[in-house]
Amino acid sequence: MTEDVVIVGAGPTGLMLAGELLLAGVRPVVLDRLPEPAGQTKALGILGRAVDMLDYRGLFDRFSAQAPAGPTGFAHFGMIPLDLSGIDDLRGIFIRQPDTERILLDRARELGAEIRRGHEVTGLRQDRDGVTLDIHGGIPLRARYVVGCDGGGSTVRTLAGIGFPGLPPTRLLRLAEVELPDGPTSGATFVPLGAGIYRVVTSEPYPPGFDRSTPMTVDELRASLGGHHLTIGAVHWLSRFTDASRQAERYRAGRVLLAGDAAHTHLPAGGPGLNTGLLDAVNLGWKLAAQVHTWAPPTLLDTYHTERHPAGARVLLHTRAQAALLSDGQHTPALREVVGRLLRHEHAVREVVNLMFALDTRYDMPAGGTHPLLGRWMPDLALTHAGTDTGTGTGTGTDGPTRVAELLRTPTAVLLDLTPDRRYAAGVTGWQDRLAVVTAHCADPPADAFLIRPDGHVAWTAGTPPHEALTTWLGQPC
């Protein structure tokens, strides 16, 4: 039996991708080498465009029911605080990574995901028709496509022969989640997590020849505190990370694709790995589903690399800059002083926030026009809904208030016509299985009509007929 898609890695990126494929009518198999979730709180929140994306997929309420969510009141750049008083479009969900994984796992299971734990991939061979995975202690697994969501040390990436160039580590950081009966001391960064539990972070120059394969111990954590006494109670978990910065040369090699940390690894300043991985998954999901359903235009799956590789490069850019601000170099204090002065200006803060949280991501949209929103995230406009259909343009449905986010609950493209005479919707037929045609009223629309891709980005705006853009992104009509 050949599976349509096998996802290797059941972390947030893999689970998000599984949900996207399931919503698009593709049932993936998710493999993970661990028998149970690791439970490590590597990320403490989701920020920026990733939050907007969760909202568009109807997941925001699930997350906000479990954790504080809303406008972000604090952010930093290399531990230089950012004044966000002039930023009103940056949202955050402050939630521990195990809770994020649990929410995404519950949703994937509700949709019918098949998750196989304790399945370690040891070999990978691909040919013209598919990929064969060797499983430790099990029978080989055959798939049409394989997606590596298996972290910075990705086995899938290595076996597929995809290069992972970048910068070696200069700093060794230790990360622990422990109970501190007497509270924190000096010599490290402490983040309170409630109930006497703290995240402890220490940093030092990377020791030459250090063996990161050995498990971290409490004694190692104590030693990294530089002799400062710290009463440590229960240890929830211990880990190490570095400021190494690498990116996969290709996000696609034939029928093998990469997403999340398997495609990019960097200093986890501000949690960009989780945010970027979720956005990778949403960009890839609908394109891979289109390929499985055989309606994808010839180059659609290749646009995953051409769009998300530059986005990953931007993450490396700002995390490398933050690493420089956090270094022990003799010139670092002067650098921090200059950057700190620049970041007192609202325009500079806006540029940094856009960069860090993907708020200004723009993809190239051929056949779309010249509108400033083209290629960018579709704003969540308030609408008065006049109807939806699947390609006839008749506009059937119930009138009522709605918003753009409500139109993108599934990875289906949307043609949104805001004209009184429905001139754009009326002329669109033939994409019934992959397009929702929506007519609505908007009080102050930025354009008369939009083609919104399933990942929330604008592929076309009114001015010319939408058929060329529809064919570019949705293939030939039925």
Summarised one tens digit per residue, pLDDT across range 434-456 is 999 999 999 999 999 999 999 99
Amino acid 22: pLDDT = 98
Instruction: Name the residue range of residue 401's domain.
Output: 382-474
What average pLDDT does this structure show over 209-235? 82
Answering whether pTM is above 0.85, one says yes
- 186 and 59 in a common domain: no
Percentage of the chain surpassing pLDDT 70?
95
What would the pLDDT profile of 266-277 be if each residue is shown by its tens digit? 988 877 989 999
Highest average pLDDT, of 210-219, 228-237, 465-474, comes from 465-474
- Of the residues 325, 348, 374, which one is the last residue of a structural domain? 325
pLDDT classification of 262: cutoffs 50, 70, 90: very high
pLDDT higher than 80, residue 283: yes
- 160 and 62 in a common domain: yes
Find the range with the poorest average confidence among 68-72, 167-171, 379-383, 473-477.
68-72
Percentage of the chain surpassing pLDDT 90?
68
What average pLDDT does this structure show over 462-468? 91
Residue in this structure with the two tokens 């000096």, named with its chain if needed: 186
- Of the residues 193, 215, 242, which one is the last residue of a structural domain? 242
- DSSP-assigned beta bridge partners for residue 189: 201
Q: Are 347 and 296 in contact (CB under 8 A)?
A: no
What would the pLDDT profile of 8-19 be if each residue is shown by its tens digit? 999 999 999 999
pLDDT higher than 60, residue 50: yes
Residue 235's CATH number: 3.30.70.2450
Per the domain annotation, does 336 fall within a domain? no
pLDDT higher than 80, residue 44: no
What average pLDDT does this structure show over 172-182? 87
Amino acid 385: pLDDT = 77
Q: Are 155 and 8 in contact (CB under 8 A)?
A: yes
Compute φ and ψ for 463, nearest 5 degrees: 145, -50
Residue 461's CATH number: 3.40.30.120
pLDDT higher than 80, residue 6: yes
Per the domain annotation, does 375 fall within a domain? no
CA–CA separation, 14 vs 475, rounded Å? 27
Per the domain annotation, does 104 fall within a domain? yes
Residue 16 burial (10 A CB sphere; 0-12, 13-18, 19+): buried
What average pLDDT does this structure show over 320-341? 93
Residue in this structure with the two tokens 């939050």, named with its chain if needed: 51
| Count of domains observed in the chain | 3
pLDDT higher than 90, residue 424: yes
How many Cα atoms are found within 13 Å in the side-chain-facing hemisphere of 402? 21
Average pLDDT across the chain, whole number:
91
What would the pLDDT profile of 355-406 be if each residue is shown by its tens digit? 999 999 999 998 777 899 999 999 999 999 777 665 433 343 457 899 999 9
- 264 and 185 in a common domain: no
pLDDT higher than 70, residue 41: no
184 or 114, greater pLDDT: 114
Residue 149's CATH number: 3.50.50.60
- 254 and 386 in a common domain: no
What average pLDDT does this structure show over 23-49? 88
Residue 65 burial (10 A CB sphere; 0-12, 13-18, 19+): exposed
- 409 and 286 in a common domain: no
Find the range with the poorest average confidence among 79-93, 190-204, 351-365.
190-204
- Of the residues 225, 242, 259, which one is the last residue of a structural domain? 242
What average pLDDT does this structure show over 291-302? 97
pLDDT classification of 228: cutoffs 50, 70, 90: low
Residue 90 burial (10 A CB sphere; 0-12, 13-18, 19+): buried
- 206 and 100 in a common domain: no
Amino acid 40: pLDDT = 67
Q: Are 101 and 37 in contact (CB under 8 A)?
A: yes
Per the domain annotation, does 361 fall within a domain? no
- 185 and 314 in a common domain: no
Amino acid 187: pLDDT = 66
Per the domain annotation, does 417 fall within a domain? yes
CA torsion 306-457-54-89 (nearest 10°) is 110
CA–CA separation, 12 vs 26, rounded Å? 18
Amino acid 392: pLDDT = 39
- 136 and 66 in a common domain: yes
Residue in this structure with the two tokens 């049409």, named with its chain if needed: 144
